[in-house]
């Protein structure tokens, strides 16, 4: 079965998708939006993405990987945006295991062995 990727944009779509796959291991990468040319406004997200993608094969069988674009820079900076309020996110990129306190924030996402640890260990 392997794993499936679900790209989503914005909080509502993220919440819906996570809810839909309740019961499966869900990992979410929150990133700054990419423009038409595929470039994100968030430089750390650009660095982290290949590292994380390089470890996706380590996720448990049947996992869902949600790639969530949070919005433009202005939306992200707003202290009341839905991600900050509802999920208590403090930075992008954030990679988390949904439903657990396990997460990696910003530079932590650059480290392949931390990403691997998040994907493979309980």
Partner 1 sequence: MGSSVRKGRAVQQAEPPRRAAKEDFHQVTQNTNNGRAITASRTEASTKSSTKSKDAELILQIQSYIDKNTVVIFSNTTCSLSTKVKELFKSMKVPYFSLELDQTENGQKLQEALYQLTLETSVPVVFVQQQQIGNYSKTLKAHEEGKLQKLLEMNGPNHLQESYDYDLIVIGGGSGGLAAAKEAVKYDKKVMVLDYVTPTPLGTSWGLGGTCVNVGCIPKKLMHQAALLGQALKDSHKFGWQFTEEAVKHSWETMTEAVQNYIGSLNWGYRVALRDNKVTYENAYGEFVGPHTIKATNTKGKEKLYTAEKFIIATGERPRYLNIPGDKEYCISSDDLFSLPYCPGKTLVVGASYVALECAGFLAGIGLDVTVMVRSILLRGFDQEMANKIGEHMEEHGIKFIKQFVPIKVEQIEEGTPGKLKVIAKSTTGSQTIEGEYNTVLLAVGRDACTRKIGLDKVGVKINKKSGKIPANDEEQTNVPYIYAIGDVLEDKLELTPVAIQAGRLLTRRLYAGATLKCDYVNVPTTVFTPMEYGACGFSEERALEKFGENNIEVYHSFFWPLEWTVPGRDNNKCYAKIICNIQDNERIIGFHVLGPNAGEVTQGFAAAIKCGLTKEKLDSTIGIHPVCAEIFTTLSVTKRSGGNVVQSGC
User: Which CB, 42 or 104, lies closer to partner 1?
Assistant: 104
Sheet with 103-105, side-by-side order of all strands: 3-9, 63-69, 26-31, 94-97, 103-105
Output the smallest distance, CB 34 to partner 1, in A.
27
Active site residue 45: yes
Which among 20-28, 39-47, 57-65, 113-121 is the span making contact with partner 1, rule CB under 8 A? 113-121
Per rule CB under 8 A, is residue 114 in the interface with partner 1?
yes
Determine, following the binding rule CB under 8 A, whether residue 100 of this chain makes contact with partner 1: yes
- The number of CA neighbours under 13 Å toward the Cβ of 35 is 7
Of the residues 8, 26, 45, 96, only one is catalytic, namely 45
- Which among 75, 89, 73, 69 has a CA at the least distance from the CA of 17? 69
In the range 8-47, which residues lie near partner 1 by CB under 8 A? none
Are 59 and 119 in contact by the 8 Å Cβ rule? The answer is yes
Q: Cβ of residue 73: shortest distance to partner 1, in angstroms?
A: 27
Kindly list the catalytic residues: 42, 45
Footprint on this chain of partner 1 (rule: CB under 8 A): 100-104, 108, 111, 113-114, 117, 121
């Amino acid at each position: 079965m392997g794993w499936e990727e679900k790209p989503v944009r914005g909080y509502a779509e993220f919440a819906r998708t996570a809810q839909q796959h309740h019961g499966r291991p869900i990992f979410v990468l929150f990133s700054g939006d990419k423009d038409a040319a595929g470039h994100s406004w968030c430089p750390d997200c650009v660095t982290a993405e290949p590292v994380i993608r390089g470890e996706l094969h380590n996720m448990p069988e049947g996992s869902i990987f949600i790639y969530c674009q949070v919005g433009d820079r202005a939306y992200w900076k707003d202290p009341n945006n839905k991600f900050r309020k509802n999920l208590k996110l403090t930075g992008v990129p954030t990679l988390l295991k949904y439903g657990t306190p396990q997460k990696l924030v910003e530079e932590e996402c650059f480290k392949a062995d931390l990403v691997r640890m998040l994907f493979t260990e309980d």
